[in-house]
Structure 1
Amino acid sequence: AIQIMIGLMHIGFGAVSLTVFGQVYIPLAAVGGYPFWGAIFFIISGSLSVSVENHLSKSLVKCSMGMNITSAVMALTGIILYISELIVNILPGDTNPVGVGLGVLLLFFSLLEFGITVSTAHFGCQVTCCNDDPDMVFVPYTVSGGVACAEGHPAPPAYEALSPK
């Protein structure tokens, strides 16, 4: 869900950053369309991750892992674009603070997306590449009803506070 929200925020803030174009600030990433095409990749990979949680299958885990790797490359591209954008616009000294703020915010979201996609792809690779049991599929970060448990296994017994004697 976080990947989907980051994608939607990229679209929104990318559209706003286009409005500061030509006002002393040049939004390189937005002119190249990164907030829009990068956001599409983030939304698709987030949707596949949600789909894996709801409909568990090894092929869907592989699709999600591939899309997360692609999104990680897109996020890395965005990081490079936003760093370049900030360098180009901050060096002259006469900058638009709104443009710089949007650039820094979108850089932060790209860094966050990169971390999420790399960790999700890592766990997906552990499941598909390093697992000898073809019937076992593990989805990380899944919590059901407040208790994390494997599919088909009962939840652990509830903790009972022991009173001192």
Structure 2
Amino acid sequence: MESKKSFFPLFIDLTNKNCLVVGGGNIAARKVRSLVEYGARVVVIAPSILPEILDQDVDIEKRGFKAEDIKDKFLVVAATDDEKLNEMIVDLCEDSSILVNNITSKTYMSARFTAHIDNNEYQIAISAKGNPRESVKLKRELMEYLKNRKD
């Protein structure tokens, strides 16, 4: 189901936006932290949820995903280890014009998370077209550059 997509870089204010994370593992925990950090109202749905997610300021529903869970959501993150379920979530979101991120694909989604730098001077988002390790590597290099830069 992979398709060739071109992602437009854009910064979005998530303050008080309704977001859903489907999944309760390590990647879901990182996505939840990012969303909460930027002020989103987050609901997490998964049968099993890591303690670090439970410690966040989010609503928790320990159960499986249902199609109606996407109702009234601004952004949905399909963060399960079930590729078919994630694809179904993407399809539902795209049919409803809801932004969706899919952790099991590099392109089958409408929104990507980035590695980012956010300091007093800059807000820099980095995407290596679906390769998070390369994004993080470049982020570290840019942070070092900014730290050592002379004005």
TM bucket normalised to smaller:
under 0.3
- Greater share of residues in helix: 1
Relative contact order: is structure 1 or structure 2 higher (C-alpha 8 Å, sep ≥ 6)? 1
TM-score (norm 1): 0.26
TM-score, with structure 2 as normaliser = 0.27
Structure 1 or 2: more strand by fraction:
2
Q: Which has the larger radius of gyration?
A: 1
